Structure 1
Amino acid sequence: MSRVDVSVVLPAYNEAETLTATVKTTLSTLGSFLSEDNFEVIIAEDGCEDKTPEIATDLASTHQQVRHIHSNDRLGRGGALEYAFREADGETLVYFDTDLATDMSHLEELVESIRTGEYDVATGSRWLPASDADRPAKRGIPSLGYNRLVRFFLRSDLQDHQCGFKAFDRDVLFALLDEVEDSHWFWDTEVLVRAQHHGYRVKEFPVDWNPKGDSKVDIVRDVFGMGSQILRTWWQLAVSPRITRTVTLTVGSLLAFVALALMTLYLDPSEVIESMQSADPLIVLIGAIIYLISWPLRGLRYRDILETISYRERWGFLTGAVFISQTGNLVFPARAGDAVRAYIIKARQDIPYPSGFASLAVERVYDLLTITLMAGFVLVGLAATGSLGEVQAALLGQPIEGSERQSGQAALFVAAGVGFGAILAVALIIYTARTDKNYVRPVIQRVSSDSYADYVAGIIEQFVGDIQTVAQDRNAFLRVGLTSLVIWVFDVIVAIVVLLAFNVAVPLPLLIGAGFFAVSVGNLAKVLPLSPGGIGLYEGAFTLLIVALTPIGPAVALSAAIVDHAVKNIVTVIGGVSSMALLDVSLTTAVEESREAEMVQND
């Protein structure tokens, strides 16, 4: 077909019952104000499962203005539209929903708004005062809420972003598509928002609208898809351009040092200072050096995990990534720093987000399993020596009184639950690794019927598959497990060295046993994001168990717990800030990008 002025795209997915009537109405309406050789109608058939492809082929052979573009796979709403527009010949590009919910009497206004050069983008609106739209509550309330969120976060001046009745100047649309990332239902909104952001002329006009089919809230599409895409676009347009290298390092450093101040949120600041002063600084420094030595092991372990799922990266880079993510955990609530690592390795090494999150999950499971086994081993030893009575007394409130006892009791119960959960998680991973059954896609399809659900299912399947790959590799499983054990032994040694800094008179074997149990339980307790960095729960569990199992008094035990946790946090913060400077990574950017990208980025 020769060059035409107007190309109309009809996105079609399983439209066998309505497609013929829609095409005929479209041809008739376009012919009422355009010559027959000046427009084309493209049926963008997107991986249909009914007779739509056959009908589209027949319509294309019957009408010279009709073209059929077929896709074997589902491209998504935005993906199908973009593919069809790139195949179109027109200078004015138009699309509307094939159910003809928007009255076709508005088509001339839509086309001519762009064709005359008056506007760059035009869109119908169901929310302008002059609009006549039949909006039942189940459609109107979610739509109104969504559009208000877009207006608030993305600073859009439009009232309706998702009306399926839009037209674009060809050059303008293709310029925008270089930035548009979504290929599903958010595509419409992102095009309109970015058009306004670049200062293009956008026309919104009222339309008569009457839905022809049923509609319902889809959890996967509307909550995970549209909501996360609003946040992604907001970050890209409103925040990211303002982040320079200077701002990154300044804000990152300030946030990192906030982690140190957070230690006083649950504990008396004067008590922290007094504890620091009463300890031998040289021995405390030795403990810090020992803890620092354990960090390269964390980088090596993470390298082994990634190699198992076929990604080979430098040990130094990965150690820095671990430093930064752990610093994020000290600063941000709900362990948001855990996801930072996935962002870093995606941004720097192009490792897909699902694989990044899977590798992080594997590491966390190893950590939990290791410290659970350490605590269990000591518990068996206590039972063998008849010392469980002291632990029972600690749980019942003796010999410590006050907030430390309450925090310690809570920590012990949390630790028990987390340890049990770790064992179940390992059992589940090993079981699923030995079966070929796919549990992911059937579950998602039960809660969502939208095409976006297939995309989400694919991401989760990749995530689960990577975890199973590590579980199936016996050598990697044992190697990573051994490294995890050494890492946590270093962690316990630091705590024991800190206790020695307080000049405690305790037989070394008893101190070692109590230290292993106290550190293991304390770290299990702080797994749940009840406070930034687990501050409070760790100290409570550590103090309670040291007092219960050794002659050390409550004041010294609490002081040692504070100093131990402080030393580890300080080493983490210094390593994290240094790594941010060396790798040029913004902690705040990494946290936000990793949250959004888990479900919405294409890999």
Structure 2
Amino acid sequence: MSSGVEVSVVLPAYNEADTIEQTVSTTLATLDAFLPEGTYEVIVAEDGCSDRTPEIATRLAREDDRVRHVHSDQRLGRGGALEYAFERAVGETLVYFDTDLATDMDHLQELVDAIRVEGYDVATGSRWLPENRADRPAKRGVPSFGYNALVRTVLRSDLRDHQCGFKAFDRTALETLLPRVQDEHWFWDTELLVKAQRDGYRVKEFPVDWTPKGDSKVDIVRDVFGMGSQILRTFWELSVSPRITREVSLGAGTMLVVLALLLMTQYLNPERVLAEMAGAAPEVVALSALVYAASWPLRGLRYRDILVSMGYRERWQFLTGAVFISQTGNLVFPARAGDAVRAYVVKARRSIPYPSGFASLAVERVFDLLTITLLAGVVMMGLAATGSAGELLSALSGGSVGGDAASSGRTAVAVAGGVGLAAIAAVAVIVGSARTDRNFVRTVVGRLSEDSYADYVAGVVERFVGDVQTVAADGPAFARVGAGSLLIWTLDVVTALIVFEAFGYGLTPSLVAVGFFAVSVGNLAKVLPLTPGGIGLYEGAFTVIVASLTPVGVAAALGVSIVDHAVKNGVTIAGGLGSMAWLNVSLTTAVEESRTAEAVEPETND
């Protein structure tokens, strides 16, 4: 290719065997009409196609030296394929448009001249300016209008049309912008345009005549899951994250923790809490807190073992801090959103990808639930063998324990039973899927979406499932994590048993067995975020079980459950605040100091 090339036109192609040759021919003829010979090139950015597009593109490049073929063996996504091709382009003016030629090619000179002649940094065609002529059927127009209105409102863009596949860029401006663009597929255009405006680049939007080609429909995966999440992600990055300093992070985290403590009073009588706590020996309660605190390094070690099996080696001290922060977040945020905080922490601080971060959390949760279910199940079988199960059923029906405790207990035990069964089913699915070669993920995603974005989403989900299966298929890792889980939850129960001692109750074998059962069921009950931190459900289940199966009265059982849960939440909050200060992390985001992962370059044929 001659060094005199000034304009590079990129045609993103994915399975375009039926149209790519005609598209290239039309593009060359249009460019030839207003650009001198030898000053332009046409690049077919072929993105891991499964049809004959690569063969056709290779032949076209061989027959005409104005045409180049850039190939990727792996699927990069629309935005990724464009970036990959632009990096290999020669011209100072970089252009791309969709290969279906929906935009009238009479506008191509105006697009190119906006950069070369008028000096704009970015130029984009628009189907939503008053002057344009665009045939927009309702099934295309309504989603497009709603999407662009959302982008203008949430991301404060001045443009009317962000997704029109007809754009040009000044090379210097684009090279500066691209490192900041995170999306690699359909949102790539929008993110680039929004950030160009935020950075003060000159952006020209002009009306184009546009005719839809082929059929189109709102796609569940691409339009709802993909675009919506990316708008929120970009809003956070541009509008929220810059305002989060160290002082703001720690202040907001502290305020949220205080709010969580205040919310406890909505589910429990504060006077009763104080009265019951006053009846316990403070030095023994302090001992229970120390025992519970000892379980946290074990959580960090267990999390380290899970990550090691996935190929990530991190210090257990850092991971303990990350677990502390996430569990504190679960006391504050609804729907266990603290788990997302942990995934963010390990990504920001150690560059562990989000799919792997969430997969490691999934593994941890499954082991937690399975261990608690095992502990509860063993004791339940013992109760059935000794004939005590009938007393528990009578209590749950309101026979021996009444009022709010019975109501909360019934709800809690029902939730615990459902969660326990779900845990067993989850383990069966994970272990079973680890032993089969069938690709269930791509089958399910494919049923939801026919768009090429489904391949991108399926790839992310497959990575998530693959990481979970890695641990399930690793026998030694499975055993280590299981043993760690058993020890962690045994210490959780021991904490409650020490609180019984603080209230003056001797630890008889029957009380120890019931204590294991009560704590296990209480923890299973609070898995679903029906109340902040499971407050109320845990106490209800604990009280009903203890009061119905031991000589401990209802008021005393409730007091033990309150103090036990308060001790555990107090240790969690203290550890969370300390970890936030140590790692400079808030409950809503993490400081963006992570190492940038280096992308692996795909193979190419230029």
Both proteins in one fold, TM over 0.5: yes
Query: How far 1:347 sits from its partner (Å)?
Result: 2.0
TM-score by length of 2: 0.93
Contact 2:332 2:532 survives alignment (8 Å): yes
Matched with 2:598 is: none
Match in the other structure for 2:569 = 569
Q: Which residue of 1 aligns with 2:304?
A: 303
Cross-structure match for 2:489: 488
Residue 241 of structure 1 aligns to which amino acid in structure 2?
Answer: P
Structure 1 residue 37, shift from structure 2 partner: 2.9
- d(CA) in 1 for partners of 2:477, 2:70: 47
**By how many angstroms is 1:12 displaced?**
1.8
Alpha-carbon distance change, 467 to 27 in structure 1, aligned in 2, over 3 angstroms: closer
For 2:371 and 2:271, locate their aligned partners in 1 and report how far apart those are by CA, in whole Å.
Answer: 35
Distance 1:474 1:4, change over 3 A: closer
Question: Structure 1 residues 530 and 591 mapped into 2: Cα distance closer, same or farther (>3 Å)?
Answer: farther
Alignment deviations for residues 162-214 of structure 1 (CA, whole Å, 9 cap, x no partner) = 00011111111111012111111111111100100101111111111111111
3-state DSSP of counterpart to 2:38: helix
Is the Cα–Cα contact under 8 Å of residues 124 and 206 in structure 2 kept in the other structure? Answer: yes
How many Å apart are 1:591 and its aligned residue?
12
Question: Aligned with 2:589: secondary structure?
Answer: helix
Deviations 1:495-549 (A, max 9, x none): 1222332234x66222212211111110010111212211111111111111111
Relative distance call for 1:202 and 1:304 in structure 2 (3 A) is same
Structure 1 residues 444, 359: closer, same or farther in 2, change over 3 A?
same
Map 1:204-283 → 2, pairs under 5 A:
204-283=205-284
Summarize deviations over 1:239-265 as a string: whole Å, max 9, x none: 111111121222122222322222112
Quickly say closer, same or farther: Cα 1:511–1:125, change in 2 above 3 A.
Answer: same
The separation in 2 between residues aligned to 1:592 and 1:126, in whole angstroms, is: 37
Contact 1:260 1:566 in 2 (8 A): no
| Deviation of 1:436 (Å) | 3.0
Q: 1:593 to 1:142 in 2, by over 3 A?
A: farther
> Which residue in the other structure is 2:398 paired with?
397
For the residue of structure 2 that corresponds to 1:275, the secondary structure is helix
AA aligned to 1:541 is A
Q: TM-score, normalised by structure 1?
A: 0.94
1:193 and 1:68 mapped to 2: Cα distance? 30
| 2:71 match: secondary structure | strand
Within the alignment, does 1:582 sit opposite 2:579 as a pair? no
> How much has 1:398 moved relative to structure 2?
2.3
2:569 maps to amino acid:
N
Name the counterpart of 2:560.
560
Alignment partner, residue 597 of structure 2 = none
Residues 583 and 39 of structure 1, relative CA distance in 2, 3 Å threshold:
same
1:190/1:593 CA distance change after superposition, 3 Å: farther
The percent of aligned pairs where both chains have the same amino acid is 69
- Aligned residue number for residue 19 of structure 2: 18
- 1:445-489 Cα distance to aligned partner (Å, 9 max, x none): 232233332333233223222222222333322222222112111
Equivalent residues of 2:344, 2:589 under 8 A apart: no
Structure-2 change in CA distance of 1:556 and 1:591 (3 Å):
farther
Task: State how far apart, in whole Å, the 2-side matches of 1:56 and 1:307 are.
Answer: 43
| Deviates further, 230-239 or 39-48 | 39-48
Q: CA deviation at 1:101?
A: 0.7
1:21/1:311 CA distance change after superposition, 3 Å: closer
> Quick one: structure 1 residues 268 and 591, their matched pair in 2 at CA, closer, same or farther if it must change by over 3 Å?
farther
Work out the CA distance in 1 between the residues paired with 2:51 and 2:334: 48
Deviates most, 326-335 or 307-316: 307-316
1:93-152 deviations in whole A, cap 9, x for unaligned? 111111111112222221111111442111111112222211112211221221122112
Q: Which residue is 2:512 aligned to? A: 512
Aligned to 2:521: 521
Distance across 2 between alignment mates of 1:556 and 1:37 = 90
Matches within 5 A, 1:377-526: 377-504=378-505, 508-526=508-526
Kindly report which structure 2 residues correspond to 1:80-479, keeping only aligned pairs within 5 A, or say none: 80-479=81-480
CA 234–592 in structure 1, closer or farther in 2 if over 3 Å, else same: farther
- The 3-state SS of whatever aligns with 1:166 is strand
In structure 2, do the counterparts of structure 1 residues 593 and 452 end up closer, same or farther at CA, with 3 Å as the change threshold? farther
- Residues 450 and 339 (structure 1), Cα distance of their counterparts in 2 relative to 1, 3 Å cut: same
Matched, 1:549 2:557: no
CA distance in 2, matches of 1:183, 1:363: 30
Aligned residues of 2:77 and 2:456 also touching (Cα < 8 A): no
Task: From the superposition, tell whether residues 477 and 71 of structure 1 become closer, same or farther in structure 2 (CA, over 3 Å).
Answer: closer
1:409 and 1:49 mapped to 2: Cα distance?
56
Distance 1:301 1:270 in 2: 39
Deviates more, 1:64-73 or 1:577-586: 64-73
* Paired letter, 1:170: R
- For residues 469 and 152 of structure 1, do their structure 2 counterparts lie closer, same or farther at Cα, with a shift above 3 Å needed? same
CA contact (8 A) 1:260 1:569 kept: no
Q: Which runs of 5 or more structure 1 residues have no equivalent in the other structure? A: 595-601
Partner residue in 2 for 1:599: none
Judge which range, 563-572 or 118-127, deviates more. Answer: 118-127
Q: Which of 544-553 and 217-226 deviates more?
A: 217-226
Give ranges in structure 2 of 5+ residues lacking alignment: 595-600, 602-606
Kindly indicate whether the alpha-carbon contact (under 8 Å) linking 1:337 and 1:591 is maintained by their aligned counterparts in 2.
no
**SS class of match (1:587):** coil
SS in 1 for 2:180: coil
Partner of 1:71: 72
Conservation of the 8 A alpha-carbon contact between 2:348 and 2:590:
no
479 and 17 in structure 1: CA distance in 2 versus 1, 3 angstrom threshold: closer
